[in-house]
Amino acid sequence: MKGRNAIVTGSTSGIGLAIARALAGEGCNVMLNGLGDAGEIEAVRADLAAAAGTKIAYNGADVSRPAEVRALVAAACAELGPVDILVNNAGIQHVSALADFPDEQWDRLVAVNLSAAFHASKAVIGSMTERRFGRIVNIASVLGLVGAPHKAAYVATKHGLVGLTKSIAIEVAETGVTCNAVCPGMVMTPIIEMQVADQAKVTGLSPEDVVKEVFLQNQPIRRPVTAEEIAGAVVFLCSPAGSGVTGTTLAVDGGYVAR
């Protein structure tokens, strides 16, 4: 994987940052992306570059905007070279009963969780198939495989991402490009901390009980999965060992969907 050029969307925190760190640790050059404080992001970028000794760049595209997604890919090509690995990881959540679900939150989740992956994949696929190598990994969720209440947009977009993964995989299967989805179970990151707070409001449970009774109740290992465990799955799919794997969903979920 040494010298491969990777884009990881939403890599300024949580799972995306762990994926960027793991890919850089394997010798990849990485284009970071995500929202947040410019100073903190630059510190993360410099840290990663120093630790890995590879090129680590950053582009602040808002991936809900197709033109910015295209600019992100163009920036990666200009600063690192042709894109070998695309990890569509940026994702957001909104928790609300269906009857009250705000239309604008539906549109925003569709844009960030699903359409961004379509636009980014579309922007890299021509070069990948021409060069007869590419790895697209979509970070879906166990909620891309099963349903859950109060999460209509999240569940729908993550199922959509799994469908997009299968379609891309089959379309380019003979070109040396693979496309897979990783489906994390519960990982303690800022997105989950917000969900815990939202679920506490909806259910009337305390945040501690939401973690125990809602999230870990469904995760047989009875602990959160770590961001590094998700990153390990992404590294496998991008490595030579993963070259025969395409169109699949790899659940890294502590047994969530096995129940």
- Taking CB under 6 A as the criterion, the residue among 5, 13, 54, 199 binding ligand NAD is 13
Least distance (Å) between residue 220 CB and ligand NAD? 15
Give how far Cα 191 sits from Cα of 10, 63, 90, 251, Å: 12, 17, 11, 19
Which of the stretches 77-85, 89-97, 99-107, 167-175 binds ligand NAD when contact is defined by CB under 6 A? 89-97
The tokens of 2 are what?
């040494």
Residue 90 in the binding site for ligand NAD (CB under 6 A): yes
Tokens standing for residue 58: 């950053």
The least distance separating ligand NAD from the CB of residue 174, rounded to whole angstroms, comes to 29
Q: Which is nearer to ligand NAD, 129 or 213 (CB)?
A: 213
The rounded distance, in Å, linking the Cα atoms of 186 and 221 is 11
Looking at residues 137 to 196 of the shown chain, list those that interact with ligand NAD (rule: CB under 6 A).
139, 141, 184, 186-187, 189-192
> Near ligand NAD by CB under 6 A, which window of 42-50, 56-64, 117-125, 173-181?
56-64
Is residue 97 within 8 Å of residue 202, measured between CB atoms? yes
Q: Which run of H or E residues covers position 159?
A: helix 152-171
Query: Is 154 a known active-site residue?
Result: yes
User: How many residues of this chain bind ligand NAD (CB under 6 A)?
Assistant: 29
Among 4, 14, 29, 120, binds ligand NAD (CB under 6 A): 14
Question: Where does the chain show beta strands of DSSP type E?
Answer: 5-8, 29-33, 56-59, 85-88, 134-139, 177-184, 249-252
Of the candidates 10, 20, 114, 154, the residue annotated as catalytic is 154
How many CA atoms, within 13 angstroms, populate the side-chain half-sphere of residue 105?
Answer: 15
Q: How many CA atoms lie within 13 A of 82 on its CB side?
A: 12
Residues lying near ligand NAD in the complex (CB under 6 A): 9-16, 33-36, 62-64, 89-92, 112, 139, 141, 184, 186-187, 189-192
